Amino acid sequence: MENIFLNIFLFIGILLIYSGISGMLTDICRKRSIYKRKYLILVLGIIVILLSIFPRFYDNKLSTFVRYITIYFSAMFIIFCVASILVNLKIKRKEYSAIIILGGYLVYGNQLTRALKKRLNLAIRIYKKQKNKPKIIVSGGKIRQETITEAEAMSKYLLENNIPEEDIIKEDKSKNTLENFKFSREKLEELNIHKNIAFVSSNFHILRAKIYASKFKIKAKGEGSKTLWYYFPEAFINEYLAIMVLYKNILIIYSILALIAIIIF
């Protein structure tokens, strides 16, 4: 059983290395400086692989502690995968009063990425299928070196696809997912909309987005757009890391208890 967890931990390490290399290549192709986070993810992947191998050759208290850690991360990875599948299940859609489209960075200063276009296209399909047209909140400010806000770029795309201007609400202050919901909630309150809400993002991002939505007491259904196959592993493992950081206190408590158990027994 322990070897199963070690193998899952090894798989996590492989995904991390893939994510780091893939991210670097993306930055190079887009002719921008490589973000330090990509190097950190690559190094983390190497460390995880080494840790997954270490307990197979040594049997001491340190290897026992490493085994406990691999069990935690592997079990959480399984839970993460199952939860991600469940929140992306396609069930019968009800009529929405508002649709929040979560932003993503722009390329070349003002151009939508393919991933962001997929989110917008999904929101457009949902909008056009509804009898009573909902309000669409496009959420995103300037994150990197954009010349316009994400909200402005998304709004232009919606207008080009025949979405009436009066149904488009721009939220242009947010810089991350948490702020997407923080400032979108203000827009929802201005519109006096408190239920029948959907948010649209990429499918790998729905779980964490739903967690953040709940922090601001927004009861919303996540609608996930498809992700390019070669980018999905990178995005998925990055989301897993983000969830681990989000619940880091649980890891700290678990690690302390594991150390105590090793010392006592």
Q: Are residues 71 and 110 in the same domain?
A: no
Q: pTM of the prediction?
A: 0.91
Q: What is the amino acid identity at position 65? A: F
* Closest to 51 (Cα-Cα) out of 40, 67, 38, 39: 67
Residue 151 belongs to domain spanning: 98-227
The answer, yes or no, to whether residue 2 has pLDDT greater than 80, is: no
Q: Are residues 109 and 210 in the same domain?
A: yes
Q: Are residues 78 and 45 in the same domain?
A: yes
Q: Are residues 212 and 238 in the same domain?
A: no
Residue 92 falls within a domain, yes or no?
no
Q: Are residues 168 and 127 in the same domain?
A: yes
Query: 3-class SS at 216?
Result: coil
Q: Are residues 38 and 58 in the same domain?
A: yes
Q: Are residues 55 and 163 in the same domain?
A: no
> 198: left (phi > 0), else alpha (psi -120 to 50), else beta?
beta
Residue 26, pLDDT score: 82
Residue 93 falls within a domain, yes or no?
no
**Residue 130, both tokens:** 């509804």
Residue 93, pLDDT score: 73
User: Cα(209)–Cα(170) distance, rounded to whole angstroms?
Assistant: 19
* Closest to 121 (Cα-Cα) out of 31, 201, 3: 201
Site of tokens 């242009």: 172
Instruction: Give pLDDT tens digits for 14-46.
Output: 999 999 999 888 878 877 777 788 899 999 999
In DSSP notation, 63-117 reads HHHHHHHHHHHHHHHHHHHHHHHHHT--------SEEEEE--PPBTTTB--HHHH
Q: Are residues 223 and 240 in the same domain?
A: no
Residue 46 falls within a domain, yes or no?
yes
User: Cα(202)–Cα(232) distance, rounded to whole angstroms?
Assistant: 10
CATH code of the domain containing 107: 3.40.50.620
Q: Are residues 122 and 208 in the same domain?
A: yes
Residue 215, pLDDT score: 94
User: Cα(176)–Cα(178) distance, rounded to whole angstroms?
Assistant: 6
Residue 103 falls within a domain, yes or no?
yes
Instruction: Give pLDDT tens digits for 240-258.
Output: 999 999 999 999 999 999 9
**Cα dihedral 256→257→259→260 (10° resolution):** 120
- Contact criterion met (CB below 8 Å) for 194 and 220: no
The answer, yes or no, to whether residue 166 has pLDDT greater than 90, is: yes
Instruction: Give pLDDT tens digits for 44-91.
Output: 999 999 999 999 998 899 999 999 999 999 999 999 999 999 999 887
Better-predicted residue by pLDDT, 219 or 143: 219
Residue 108, pLDDT score: 82
Q: Are residues 12 and 33 in the same domain?
A: yes
Residue 131 falls within a domain, yes or no?
yes
Instruction: Give pLDDT tens digits for 184-240.
Output: 999 999 999 999 999 999 999 999 999 999 999 999 999 999 998 888 999 999 999
User: Cα(263)–Cα(155) distance, rounded to whole angstroms?
Assistant: 59
User: Cα(176)–Cα(103) distance, rounded to whole angstroms?
Assistant: 8
Q: Are residues 81 and 132 in the same domain?
A: no
Residue 132, pLDDT score: 92
Residue 104 falls within a domain, yes or no?
yes
Residue 220 falls within a domain, yes or no?
yes
Instruction: Give pLDDT tens digits for 95-130.
Output: 999 999 999 888 888 999 999 999 999 999 999 999
The helix (H) or strand (E) run that includes residue 126 is helix 114-129
Residue 11, pLDDT score: 97
Residue 18 falls within a domain, yes or no?
yes
How many independent structural domains does the chain possess?
2
Q: Are residues 79 and 119 in the same domain?
A: no
Residue 94, pLDDT score: 80
Which residues lie below 8 Å from residue 77, measured CB to CB, with a gap of 6+? Answer: 8, 12, 240
- Contact criterion met (CB below 8 Å) for 203 and 226: yes
